[in-house]
Each structure stands twice: as structure tokens, then as C-alpha cells.
Structure 1
Amino acid sequence: MSVHDDLTSVQRCLDDLSRSLGRLEKQLGSGGLEMRRVRADADHLRESVALLRETAAGPATPRKPELVTIPDTPYDDSLWVDTDDEGLGARDRHAP
């Protein structure tokens, strides 16, 4: 089976689950905590399968991240005026 066929099968199963939950809600009521949790879980599954379908429809080859060039020029020293050298303490103080 192809990925598309598998996703279609999963979608059919989720549709069956949704119909079955609808029948249960009519019999048990939809206000109980358990029924709300099951309905929320089914909705999350539906959203997850939709995301999988979008991913499967995308390009087969993974995209390479865009590279960012970092210049070799030194940073402006004024950026570091109000900081301490890590592990060395402040510039104008001495260790006890």
C-alpha cells in the first residue's frame, strides 16, 4: 500500500470512530468528562492525520536549511561596556 492509501484508510477509520462517538453521545449524553475527553482525543487524531497528509503531499526530498553568513569583522566594543567578563568579575573590582 502507498502512503496515500494508508492515510485514506486511517481517515475512514476516524470517520467511523466519529460516527460511533455520535451514537454514544446520544445514548450517554455529551456532558460527562469521559465523553468530552474521548471526543477531544478523536478531534486531536483527526488534526494529526491532516498534518500527516500535508507532510506526505510535500516534497519527497528534505529541504536544506538556509545558511546565514557571519561576518569576520569584530563586534563593536560599545556593545559590551555594561557587562562583566564571565568568571573574571567586574573590571574595577578585585577578588577578596
Structure 2
Amino acid sequence: MTSTEIVELRRALGQLRQCVGSLRGRYGDVAAVQRLANDIERMDIDATELIDIDSPPRPRQAPLVEREVVVVPDTPYDSSLWQDADDEGLGGYRQR
């Protein structure tokens, strides 16, 4: 899209917003007015996506997330931890 097309699209969306605002003032927040407002928001989102397609890609940085490292030992677990546990999901109950 050219910059002129972008400006014209934004202007038209602005005019639509004003018209829906006038309708909201006249009829209140009825379902039809809400749908029109939602349609304009959706058009604005779609227009932004189109504009972003034509613009050069912006480098994205991964969000900085601090992660805690949990060390799991390779040694076997103490069998007494499982002493009275059932074997659910492993083929049924096993008698001891």
C-alpha cells in the first residue's frame, strides 16, 4: 500500500467511527450499533495487518524470561516413597 492509500484508509475508518458514535448517541448501545462498532474494530485490525505486510520486517526479540534450573538426580528413588501407592494407569492394582 502506498502512504496515500494508508492515509485514506485511516481517514475512512475514522469517519466510520464518528458515524457509529453518532448512532450510539441516538439509539444507545443496542445490538446493531455494537455489531457496527465491532465491524469497524475488525476492519482496523485487518488494515493494520495489511500495512504491516508492506512494511519492512522488524527484528523481534524474544521476551526475557528468567527460568529456574531444577536438577533431577540420576540416582534411584527411595522405594519407601512408593510403599502404599497404587499402580493406577499401569495395568491395575498389584498385590504385594
Q: TM-score range by the shorter chain?
A: 0.5 to 0.7
Identical pairs, percent: 18
Unaligned runs of 5+ in 2: 58-96
How many pairs does the alignment contain? 57
Q: Distance in 1 between matches of 2:33 and 2:14?
A: 17
Aligned to 1:23: 22
| In the alignment, structure 1 residue 38 sits paired with structure 2 residue 36 | yes
Q: Which runs of 4+ in 1 moved over 4 A?
A: none
Structure number, greater radius of gyration: 2
TM-score, scaled to structure 2: 0.55
Q: Distance in 1 between matches of 2:50 and 2:4?
A: 13
Q: Distance in 1 between matches of 2:10 and 2:50?
A: 11
Superposed, 1:55-74 pairs within 5 Å as: 55-58=53-56
Q: Distance in 2 between matches of 1:21 and 1:35?
A: 7
TM-score, scaled to structure 1: 0.55
Using CA pairs below 8 Å that are at least 6 residues apart, which structure has the higher relative contact order?
Answer: 1
Aligned to 2:61: none
